[in-house]
Amino acid sequence: DTGVSQNPRHKITKRGQNVTFRCDPISEHNRLYWYRQTLGQGPEFLTYFQNEAQLEKSRLLSDRFSAERPKGSFSTLEIQRTEQGDSAMYLCASSSGLAGPHGETQYFGPGTRLLVL
């Protein structure tokens, strides 16, 4: 296992189209997080899963955004009716969720860079 992977790495789409991103966390990590990062800013939290349960969602996650983690392993993030303001890097991270600092540490994937034309 080589870490968190995300696909695709880049996505260009036209305004109004739907897009879906995939994240594969580190094996046996039961927590999975989605963040959005715009140019010159730090990542902003979108949502997180404990196994298959979505436990928290940010107010940034509008109704056009939906995330799933159906079997508690990989996760998908879908954006419907994309807008130019959705252009950003979408980062996925995972953590083991075990007690203590090692369990709390989040490991990040390479991100999916979305450009909405």
The footprint of other proteins (CB under 8 A) covers 33, 35, 40-45, 48, 56, 58, 91, 93, 101, 104-111
Residue 92 · residue 108 · CB < 8 Å: yes
> For other proteins, which is the closer residue by CB, 46 or 79?
46
Residue 27 · residue 113 · CB < 8 Å: no
CB of 42 to other proteins, least distance (A): 3
> For other proteins, which is the closer residue by CB, 36 or 82?
36
CA distance 40 to 105: 23
Residue 104 · residue 98 · CB < 8 Å: no
> For other proteins, which is the closer residue by CB, 82 or 106?
106
Residue 60 · residue 43 · CB < 8 Å: no
CB of 41 to other proteins, least distance (A): 6
